[in-house]
Structure 1
Amino acid sequence: MTESGNPSQPENLNEYNASHIQVLEAREGIRRRPGMYIGSTSERGLNQMVFEVVTYAVDEHLAGHADTIDVTITSDGGVRVADNGRGLPVEVEETTGMSAVERELTELSFHSKPHSGYGVCGGISGLGLCVVNALSSRLTVEVHRDGHRWTQEYEKGIPITALTRHEEGSGHGTTITFLPDTGIFETTRYSFAALSQRLQELAFLNGGLAISLTDERPERPVRYHHTDGLRAYVTHLTPYPPSLVHSPAIAFESENQDKTIFVQVAMQWNTWSTGGFHSFANSTRTHEGGAHEQGFRTALKDLVNDYARRHRHLGTDDEDLTIEAIHQGLTAVVSVKLAHPVFEGSTRTKLGNPEADAYVHEVVREHLADWLHHHPDEAAAIIRHTLNAST
């Protein structure tokens, strides 16, 4: 037996201490495990790169500083995203000697842009620009701010030029152009259809924001601008007017007193389809649902049954209408924007905030009850449709 302390003693394989912990720099960690940040290295992850940059621009809109986002798939296979927001900050921090632009594009823990409004972070990781930079073979940022045009270039997340000030100008905004790294992605060919669908969705969710998509492979420009927001979205999802149980679509929105949560709802019953439920948190589709969906469904079930009984569509001995019957033919969109969203699950597509449940429930009870009261004919048609669906 080898004595304790003998250099020839084999290492204890069960030992675990600080020397075994490997700390990766932001760029290295992202490039080694890209799926942790954008979901995959397939076409889905490739498209997510675009959405991460667009999300940053959408935040500028929510903060009241941008109303236009232009996305271009360039002829060389890259993507350019331009907005007319405030522009990334360009000042240099004395302690690091780095510009705010460079820190935003290279550090995981840094957030130079002060999110006003709801502090929205709609990307998968919430670290969009840094992640996109690390996973791009080339990235160029162009900022119009503080009376000048500024540029900086990167290769695989590493700056190859300093932030450079150019000619004077009065414009404002940020343009980011990037080429995905072919050594990381399984494909570097973007799906125009997938990008178009998501950008149109973002335009619906953010009323008044104009988003364009141009493909230079050949050129196929589209532009989305929906001042009517979620009502326009529901109309888009229910395209056959003769099938509508009521018209126009029901739509309402509300913000809590602390301005930490904003709720938008649009809904339309129809006889053409079985309907569908679309929920979003900070413009990200919550495929697994969560608190906001729970608040909507509970309020809707209680309210429809209360209305049906008060107006004698249901007798005292009749059972309540089920949520399945109420949802038959209902197309609904619920969007919440929160200061501190809590996403659950590995894909971050389920909202866990209990305050979202409570506030959505409150908003639906108040506003839908008011709508039913002021539209008795349409309300009666909805109840008849629901009763037919329950038989």
Structure 2
Amino acid sequence: MSDGASTYDASQIKVLEWPETVRMRPGMYIGSTGERGLHQLLFEVADRAVNEAANGRAGSVGVTLMADGSVRVTDDGPGIPFAAAGNTEGPGMEALLTELPFGPRPDDRRAVVMTLFGLGPAVANALSSRLTAEVRREGVRRVQEYARGVAVAPPTVAGPATGSGTTLTFRPDVTVFGEAQYSFAVLAEYFRELAFLNRGLDISLTDERPPGGPQAARFRFLGGVRDLVVSVPARAGTPVHTEVIGFEREDPRMAGTMEVALRWCGSSEKRIRGFANSMATPYGGTHELGLREGVAAALDAHARRRGLLSAEGPDLDTDRIAEGLTAVVSVKLDRPEFVGATRRELGNAPVRACVAEAVREHLGTWSEENPEQAAAVVGRILRAEALD
């Protein structure tokens, strides 16, 4: 290096302040600046409201796609105070909207996980041209406005409040997202699935953008993942057995709970879906392996006891039993461990044995109590194999 070459020292390091730290590299925080990133922006805001409802602090959550491009997320919980409320209630509204909670996200089986990193509404505030925070608490309605992550003015009292709750209305910045638009269909399917996975969760989605008038959907299911299996489209074929087989169990060995539902249908399509703390795991993991192993063990044992399989015949292994199977396994863990940073595959080793044992026991009991339906399931599997 020549004597005239410039040197690199601390004076050349630029420290980004809020909100430039988010606005300069939005993809680092929400994945993209297209439709997927817009949806992630909404999930960062809705995450807190959904968890309020899932944990009994709120009765319902409403999401509205407004005609001007804004999004409104509201809940009827106790209302987040603008000032910090002490350790018992967590950070105040201003902290939630202007501070990124860097560090590992606290894990809790009761938490509904909607985002990878749990950065919260601060990300949406930084990437929105306008955000309005409204809190209805203790009979008073307070409002504060932000522009691109910066408060326009301090919180103001806007009059008396009827009931309580929190409403965040934000307009994604077109200089960041361009012409990207929210998809009602994609969001409706996501919230619908979330309501299946969290029994009793009440979420409504309204789209005010269509020129022909608003469209709306409300999601609330009391049957849990059983209802999710029932909802599979008709192309799954005629059910082989009349009822959806399902159960729930808590197991301290895996520090969590499991909810399983399954049904065999006439189609050859295999539909096995896994979730960990309400987040889909498309690459599978230990919960799905346990489900397959438990099903194979229970059906193989029943088939041999009933003479549906000869002593010399091959086992009903995890591949054979999946033919025509629609199944959901949802685990909620205090300490979920994932393979890779994107949380697409569950890695908790104890989960595999716990789920396999529970499925084997429950499906084994069902098979003995419903021998004709169990025989129909085994027969369907054997017929499919004969056609291969």
Measured against the shorter chain, the TM-score band is 0.7 to 0.9
Q: Structure 1: how far apart are the matches of 2:151 and 2:17?
A: 15
User: Which residue among 331, 336, 339 is the counterpart of 1:344?
Assistant: 339
Aligned to 1:29: 21
Q: 2:38 aligns with which of 37, 43, 46?
A: 46
Corresponding position of 1:5: none
Counterpart for residue 202 of structure 1: 194
Q: Is the 8 A contact 1:136 1:179 kept in 2?
A: yes
Match of residue 66 from structure 1:
58
Decide whether aligned partners of structure 1 residues 93 and 249 sit closer, same or farther in structure 2, where only a CA change above 3 A counts.
closer
How many angstroms apart in 1 are the aligned matches of 2:199 and 2:140?
A: 30
What is the 5 A alignment of 1:303-342?
Answer: 303-342=298-337
Are the structure 2 counterparts of residues 155 and 115 from structure 1 closer, same or farther at C-alpha, using a change threshold of 3 Å?
farther
Are residues 1:261 and 2:253 paired? no
Distance in 2 (CA, whole Å) between partners of 1:358 and 1:20 is 54
2:84 is matched with 92
Cα displacement string for residues 135-170 of structure 1 (whole angstroms, at most 9, x for unaligned residues): 111111222233422222211122222233443446
Distance, in Å, in 2 between the alignment partners of 1:18 and 1:369 is 67
Residue 120 of structure 1 contacts residue 339 of structure 1 at CA under 8 Å; is this kept in 2?
A: no
Counterparts in 2 of 1:280 and 1:99: CA distance versus 1, 3 Å:
closer
CA RMSD of aligned residues (A): 3.0
Is the 1:207–1:229 Cα contact (8 Å) retained in structure 2?
yes
Taking only the aligned residue pairs, the percentage that are identical comes to 44
289 and 114 in structure 1: CA distance in 2 versus 1, 3 angstrom threshold: closer
Q: Say whether residues 1:83 and 2:78 are aligned partners.
A: no
How far the C-alpha of 1:9 sits from its partner, in A, is 6.1
8 Å CA contact 1:282, 1:337 repeated in 2: yes
> 1:196-226 CA distances to partner (integer Å, 9 max, x unpaired)?
1111111211121222111111311112221
Alpha-carbon shift at residue 79 of structure 1 (Å): 0.9
Provide the C-alpha distance between the structure 2 equivalents of 1:373 and 1:108, rounded to a whole number of angstroms.
54
Contact 2:236 2:269 in 1 (8 A): no
Displacement of 1:258: 8.6
Residue 302 of structure 1 corresponds to 297
CA distance in structure 2 between the aligned counterparts of 1:294 and 1:259, rounded to whole angstroms: 15
Partners of 2:355 and 2:11 lie apart in 1 by 49
Structural mapping, 1:347-386, within 5 Å: 347-386=342-381
Matching of residue 145 in structure 1 with residue 140 in structure 2: no
Q: Distance in 1 between matches of 2:160 and 2:368?
A: 58
Change beyond 3 A, Cα 1:152–1:354 = farther
Mapped partners of 1:360, 1:20: distance in 2: 55
Aligned partner (choices 134, 139, 151) of residue 126 of structure 2: 134
Offset at residue 332 of structure 1 (A) = 0.9
**Cα separation, 2, equivalents of 1:278 and 1:99:** 36
Residue 119 of structure 1 deviates from its aligned partner by 3.6
Aligned residues of 1:251 and 1:266 also touching (Cα < 8 A): yes
Q: 1:361 to 1:154 in 2, by over 3 A?
A: farther
Residue 245 (structure 1) aligned with residue 240 (structure 2):
yes
Q: 1: distance between equivalents of 2:279 and 2:151?
A: 30
Tell me the alpha carbon deviations over residues 225-261 of structure 1, each in whole angstroms, 9 at most, x when there is no partner: 2111211111110437971001221121122349942
- Following superposition, the deviation at residue 178 of structure 1 comes to 0.9
Gapped regions of structure 1 (runs ≥ 5): 3-7
